[in-house]
Structure 1
């Protein structure tokens, strides 16, 4: 207990939030990400946006990688719940989970770049992984097949979204990329690419994602689904 002569501890003004806390720091970082992209997100710029010294951020995040890992975890909040279904077989439930993950990454500029390689182990990311593996184990898949399927589908989803978001970057949009591809193919001798150019140059990223996801699901069904048809 403080002595009578001890100064009272500093308190935020009534009705005003504390200037620095973990939740507000993460939200500010996500706001900056959406505004300017991952390359412009620095610890100094984040500190400036929060009106604190850069060193104050290290109370919560020792490195920028720690910050990115926490941002990845925050982006995955609610994804498992969003993918919940009232029925359907294992393939429909896995499809819903993969779609929900893609939506979560697309919700933030460079979301897939933030997520890739962070190895987040918070409740949101692990809850998503547990739900995914649980769907397969409950359907009768072997444990090793369920784990490998998790990595395969998540890596596909993140990789696809990386390419999708790169194509949608301001100044380097998908229209410009598609135009460059058309010009390069038509200027050369690429008969097979020419025949498929309308699809190759398409900006229907959802259609492309769904096609690849369907291939993965059908592959799992063919190679690993139990013969009982669970």
Structure 2
């Protein structure tokens, strides 16, 4: 007797296939084939691909919460700056574990309230540090969108999933050949040629630099009150 298909099986299979075929190649038909069922069987659980992507993004978040709860990178329980940057680091590392993880996560809707408890704790930490709720929301929203945007750009250059330290010499998309870019631009646009290595060379450095800029901007513009 065949095992009854459930949402968890579908999502786990979709996340695994995502690493093989990417977002564009991920279809309900392909997932059904992997599960050895007919495509209509999936529509009992997901009406369309967007509903599936919403559940995949939610599962990514659940996994991140399970991994980092109680030991958030950057210093849980420390200064708000450490908590903000640590949470962004955890988010980036999680999304880099999935091919096109940034695109999948961006613009999707959570399918349950699993995000609420860590969000509540994080906002309490910021408001406890003297932020108004509005300023805390703006601080997090800015840092969050910076992280998502950078991951999307990073994964266009390095499409294979995995941590940055695991990247091999051939992991860069050939379309982002920095030497070729410099040769094409150097004659007429020397600054635009040189800046390519700053944009697309070291994403770890770019990410950490960007986080420092975001935090400095928050410190300069929001100025949390003494709790």
TM-score by length of 1: 0.82
Q: Please name the residue that 1:154 is paired with.
A: 144
Tell me, yes or no, if structure 1 residue 141 matches structure 2 residue 124.
no
Equivalent of residue 42 in structure 1, options 27, 34, 52: 27
* Distance change in 2, residues 1:41/1:174 (3 Å): closer
| Distance (whole Å) between structure 2 residues aligned to residue 55 and residue 127 of structure 1 | 35
* Distance change in 2, residues 1:72/1:200 (3 Å): closer
Map residues 47-62 of structure 1 onto 2, 5 A cutoff: 47-62=32-47
SS in 2 for 1:44: helix
Query: More displaced, 123-132 or 35-44?
Result: 123-132
Could you tell me how far 1:174 is from its partner in structure 2?
4.9
Q: Structure 2: where are the runs of 5+ without partners?
A: 161-169
Tell me, yes or no, if structure 1 residue 182 matches structure 2 residue 156.
no
Which one has the largest radius of gyration? Answer: 1
* Distance change in 2, residues 1:115/1:195 (3 Å): closer
| Distance (whole Å) between structure 1 residues aligned to residue 156 and residue 196 of structure 2 | 20
Equivalent of residue 225 in structure 1, options 209, 220, 223: 223
Q: Structure 1: where are the runs of 5+ without partners?
A: 1-10, 13-17
Equivalent of residue 214 in structure 1, options 212, 215, 225: 212
Q: Please name the residue that 1:205 is paired with.
A: 203
Could you tell me how far 1:150 is from its partner in structure 2?
2.2
On the 8 A contact 1:164/1:205 being kept in 2, the answer is yes
Structure 1 residue runs of 4 or more that deviate by more than 6 Å after TM superposition? none
* Distance change in 2, residues 1:194/1:110 (3 Å): closer
Map residues 62-211 of structure 1 onto 2, 5 A cutoff: 62-80=47-65, 82=68, 84=72, 85-169=75-159, 173-174=172-173, 176-177=175-176, 178-190=178-190, 192-193=191-192, 196=195, 198-202=197-201, 204-211=202-209
Instruction: Calculate the aligned-residue CA RMSD, in Å.
Output: 2.4
